[in-house]
Structure 1
């Protein structure tokens, strides 16, 4: 999978997760706000309806107080309580009845209430609403009134009677609620104010058909409901013992609903507001579409941002990838044509350029080494050709010596031939100490033919060193320098001593002479030459030109590098061996 696709996938999952979390939080918050809003609406309308009912009951109680506050009416009621007559006509046309009727027939009472009726134990009944449809039942009396027992003995307190048929009507008996008061003193009777259901329905008129208002007394008696049929007792029992707040319930028909129970602070009534609705489903239907739309928009924006950002982030990588894919040997030093906008990728590009530079340097060194290798092969061929010519010349000189009966010349040619065979053998790059000593003895033999008694040499090598390896012709070059440069033009005897032995830390070979020594200037020159040769061999890996009088230093330097490498190898092997132990 490409890096850009990985970025898109990872951040898409992250974006979906975060957007989902915020979407769920937004949905939950809006559902909660929706419920609180609906709860607030229910509380508001419930407060309004409860206040309307409280005002209605208060007006009914005020009407009773209005009538009974009139002294003439009270005197009339006293006379009626003691009036002895069995004739309805006499009672109807009496002065006391007229006084009471005049009071209760005021426009205000006639307009506001369905009926106001006075009755006493003597069967006296006076009503203000006594027309054709609302004519008073003349047979109705104290004895037939069904609520007498509930209102008697209450100390003159107003008694609220829930929805019931009008007890005084002769033709129509509408559903009414009543406030009844027992008039105190001399058994003057009772005064009742009625409010018909039609007026109450108009007052409690509700635009939301799913809301039902149920008024109960605090003792649990049904008072009024705007619904035609309602199981008030079911809701009353269901809400008992619950907090006086909105509860999620099921209606008597099994529907989801909300119910709020509120008690009046001024009257003996309780309002239960039942809203038939599944609040959770309604909240979901209300909030979910908006939440999904916002979620989709947020997700689309975040995905678009992720795509654009991923392209911006991967553009430098694609630039670097294209640059790396198009890099060849002939354009390794080329630069990226466009500027990289990402600092980290630019650092990677710089590192890649450093790698290319080091690779280019290594390739140049490799080419140089290849040229040196070809040159070495050519030199090797030349070295193999030249000795054949020298051997032939030596054979000619040796034959000439034999003809001249000069054995010294034959010995010199034989020793020189042996040295040539050893020195021109390119098969073996290194030799043992024993082979080097044998070669050195041939060389010293030749020098003996030249210097005769002036040359004195001694070789003391521990036999334990005979098999130790070292570069070829090392000792001969050092001895040659000791003879040629150690004594100069002095006539002193040349003494050369070659020694070798084992030590606790390794082994050594030593060439010693008792010549004139070396000046500081010459020593500095030699050290500089050695440093130059070392640098060419180890760092530059360039060729070292061989010339007469300069090969000794090259061979000596080669020997030093060889010894250093061998010592490092032996120490490493020794440490590994100790680690295994």
Structure 2
């Protein structure tokens, strides 16, 4: 590149531009980055969405499993509570069964009735002991069986006996009045220390009064060790705590615990013999015995009701992460497969240019959508080619029209001056007719070469036609008449330049024959509120069939060129002024224009008629 220095000398400077190869590499690098960016965005979006979905499903599944396991554990605990209650009732019923066995023994009742006879007591002792052993057989599960009154006692026990201690205990028995007042009804005593033994072992017992309905003969008490309750209420491999309440809310088990009356009160308010509920974050299952009135409660913190364990949690986490890895790999492969056609499309589009308006995508994917995209791009490029061609042709037409317009403005000046000189000479010589001919011809030339207006009217066309009619009538003096009539209200309507005169000239050129003595051309311009028409008729020879067919084909070709946006400026339309006028009217009036031609039906000659709708013109 040349550069001008301050001293006026010139020097050459080299302008370094990146090579074509380097530009292509940079372009491909940018496209690759865009491709990878879209790939990563698609991959991360789908992965995040699916991981969220997987986490949600996993959470719902765990929640469902937890709920099912929770319900199952609650059900199992309810069954366990019922089982504990059943074992306690079975123990109490077994103890009461021994008492009933003695009460229904006539011999035992007679012995207790004769207990005041001290001399016979040693004889009765072995017999009563046999009754005790028989009823407690075969496992001898009771801790103590004792029948006593104020005079004597009979006992079978697993502890050491101290007769004097037992006698004192009988004399001071604390539940005597309550038991005797029950008249033989079963009474379950609360857990207490064995009052008949100095060892004071904790026991629970069932008692009844020995009575025949009229007289009380003493009391029977069957005891079991408190350890039996502990064994029944103990839990193995099950979390939680068992509580055992007496009918008055006293805590029977565990003996060393207190302050659980609130739980018993809540259970009592439920009004049902068994059930479960949650209180203060604790799951409580309970069952109340109809036999003893005792209430068994199994309590456990809700959070520990379904203990998954460390191993289960670790296994769950491991499985979840394995699923995540598998899903990410699958999505990576799937995303790459989804993005591959877009990459090929991007590469194919990078090759598109004004010189290469085509797109070919590989068909190895067999994807209908890709084929549809390919076809859509092909259609788009085809329309784009047509649009570019039309644009180029329009530009060329504009330049050519400008050139011709400028050129045409240069030619008429000499002609105007020459005609003006001829007109002056004719006028000076007294030849007024020649002078008028020159004036008319000059007006025609000025109208033909006038490019100062874009829109011409009916009035302009009628004036130009009158000048032509004056000249042609002088040419055929006495044998030709041209009559022009136009509604005054239509003189301001828009009309393409050179519409009337070429059509009348066609009538003169093709319709006038020597056989016609007087040739007449009529131009009528009239209108209605909806439209207006131009009708040109003559009395000449008319159209031949060949001429009519040729004109129809010419007009059909005009319609085709207009529809396909073909070049209508440079097309050859022959010598037919009709085709030229038809095209210009169709462009100006579009669908609001009609054109008809043919031979007259009421006489010799031909006609041409142009109809124009007012609303189309007004809309423009």
Normalised by the size of structure 1, how large is the TM-score? 0.72
The answer to whether the 8 A contact 1:42-1:273 is kept is no
Does 1 or 2 have the higher relative contact order (CA < 8 Å, sep 6+)? 1
Distance across 1 between alignment mates of 2:348 and 2:476: 72
Distance across 1 between alignment mates of 2:418 and 2:286: 135
Is 1:228 equivalent to 2:272 in the alignment? no
Distance across 2 between alignment mates of 1:426 and 1:255: 100
Residues 108-507 of structure 1: matches in 2 within 5 Å? 108=137, 111-122=140-151, 124-129=152-157, 133-137=160-164, 139-140=167-168, 142-152=170-180, 154-169=182-197, 171-184=198-211, 188-202=217-231, 204-207=233-236, 210-214=240-244, 216=246, 220=248, 224-230=252-258, 236-242=264-270, 243-248=272-277, 256=282, 258-264=284-290, 268-279=291-302, 281-283=303-305, 286=308, 327-338=352-363, 343=368, 346-347=371-372, 349-377=374-402, 379-380=404-405, 383=408, 419-428=444-453, 431=456, 433=458, 436=461, 439-440=464-465, 442-444=467-469, 446-447=471-472, 450-457=475-482, 469-490=494-515, 492-497=517-522
Q: Secondary structure at the match of 2:163?
A: coil
The answer to whether the 8 A contact 2:558-2:583 is kept is no
Q: Secondary structure at the match of 1:277?
A: strand
Q: Return the match for 2:118 from 72, 76, 83.
A: 83
The answer to whether the 8 A contact 2:69-2:306 is kept is no
The answer to whether the 8 A contact 2:359-2:378 is kept is no
Shift of the 356–270 alpha-carbon distance from structure 1 to 2, 3 Å rule, reads same
The answer to whether the 8 A contact 1:136-1:168 is kept is no
Count of residue pairs the alignment pairs up = 555
The answer to whether the 8 A contact 1:534-1:557 is kept is no
Instruction: Please state how far the C-alpha of 1:508 moved relative to its aligned partner.
Output: 5.3
The answer to whether the 8 A contact 2:210-2:217 is kept is yes
Q: Return the match for 2:568 from 507, 517, 542.
A: 542
Is 1:557 equivalent to 2:596 in the alignment? no
Instruction: Please state how far the C-alpha of 1:46 moved relative to its aligned partner.
Output: 2.8
The answer to whether the 8 A contact 2:147-2:219 is kept is yes
Residues 505-516 of structure 1: matches in 2 within 5 Å? 511-516=536-541
The answer to whether the 8 A contact 2:70-2:305 is kept is yes
Work out which of the two has the higher radius of gyration on C-alpha atoms and give 1 or 2: 1
Instruction: Please state how far the C-alpha of 1:571 moved relative to its aligned partner.
Output: 0.9
Over residues 108-164 of structure 1, what are the superposed CA-to-partner deviations in whole Å (9 max), with x where a residue is unaligned? Answer: 589533333343332x23434497x44333542643333322332555455433322
Distance across 2 between alignment mates of 1:188 and 1:513: 158
Instruction: Please state how far the C-alpha of 1:269 moved relative to its aligned partner.
Output: 1.2
Distance across 1 between alignment mates of 2:435 and 2:261: 150
Shift of the 530–429 alpha-carbon distance from structure 1 to 2, 3 Å rule, reads farther
Instruction: Please state how far the C-alpha of 1:523 moved relative to its aligned partner.
Output: 3.2
Q: Secondary structure at the match of 1:275?
A: strand
Distance across 1 between alignment mates of 2:373 and 2:499: 50
The answer to whether the 8 A contact 2:46-2:331 is kept is no
Shift of the 569–101 alpha-carbon distance from structure 1 to 2, 3 Å rule, reads same
In the alignment, what sits opposite 1:522?
Answer: 547
Shift of the 468–436 alpha-carbon distance from structure 1 to 2, 3 Å rule, reads same
Distance across 1 between alignment mates of 2:259 and 2:516: 150
Distance across 2 between alignment mates of 1:291 and 1:428: 92
Q: Secondary structure at the match of 1:270?
A: coil
The runs of 5 or more residues in structure 1 that have no matched partner are 85-90, 577-581
Instruction: Please state how far the C-alpha of 1:260 moved relative to its aligned partner.
Output: 1.0
Q: Secondary structure at the match of 2:355?
A: helix
Two-structure CA RMSD over aligned residues (Å): 5.3
Q: Secondary structure at the match of 1:329?
A: coil
Shift of the 79–351 alpha-carbon distance from structure 1 to 2, 3 Å rule, reads same
